Structure 1
Amino acid sequence: METRIDEIADGIYRLSTCVPDIAPPAGFTFNQFLVLGDEPLLFHTGPRRMFPLVRDAVARLLPPERLRWITFGHYEADECGSMNEWLAVAPQAEIAHGQTGCLVSLNDMADRAPRILADGETIDLGGGRRVRYLDTPHIPHGWDAGVLYEEASGTLLCGDLFTQLGDGPALTEGDIVGPAIAAEDMFGYSSLNPGMGTTIRRLAGLAPRRLALMHGPSYAGDGAAALTALADDYDRRAGAALAEAGIG
Structure 2
Amino acid sequence: MAKIDEIAPDLFRISVYVPDYNMQFNHFLVRDEEPLLFHAGLKRLFPALREAVTSLIDPARLRWVAWSHFESDECGALNEWLQLAPHAEPACTLVGKLVNADDFAIRPARGLTPGETLTTGKYRFRFHRSPHIPHGWDAGVLFEETQNTLFCSDLFHHFGDVAPLTSSDLIGPTTEALAQLRQGPLAGYMPYTAKTEGVLRALADLQPASLAVMHGSSYAGDGGQLLRDLAGVMQREFDVA
* Partner residue of 2:163 out of 148, 163, 169: 169
What residue number does 1:65 align with?
60
CA deviations 1:118-152 (Å, max 9, x no partner) are 111101111x2111111100002111111111111
Contact 2:179 2:237 in 1 (8 A): no
What residue number does 1:95 align with?
90
What residue number does 1:130 align with?
124
Contact 1:15 1:57 in 2 (8 A): yes
Letter in 2 for 1:201: R
Distance 1:213 1:45 in 2: 14
Secondary structure of the residue aligned to 1:191 is coil
Number of residue pairs matched? 235
CA deviations 1:77-105 (Å, max 9, x no partner) are 00000000000000000001111101110
What residue number does 2:143 align with?
149
Q: Percent identity?
A: 48
- TM-score, normalised to structure 2, is 0.95
What residue number does 2:16 align with?
17
Give the superposition deviation at 1:178.
1.3
Give the superposition deviation at 1:194.
1.9
Secondary structure of the residue aligned to 1:106 is helix
Alignment of 1:26-105 (within 5 A): 27-105=22-100
* Partner residue of 1:178 out of 172, 194, 202: 172
Contact 1:194 1:235 in 2 (8 A): no
Q: Which moved more, 1:187-196 or 1:215-224?
A: 187-196
Distance 2:65 2:114 in 1: 17
CA deviations 1:8-58 (Å, max 9, x no partner) are 111100000000111xxxx10000000111100000011000000111000
Secondary structure of the residue aligned to 2:207 is coil
Letter in 2 for 1:227: L
Distance 2:27 2:206 in 1: 22
Greater than 4 Å deviation, 4+ residue runs: none
Give the superposition deviation at 1:237.
3.9
Secondary structure of the residue aligned to 1:37 is coil
Contact 1:3 1:57 in 2 (8 A): yes
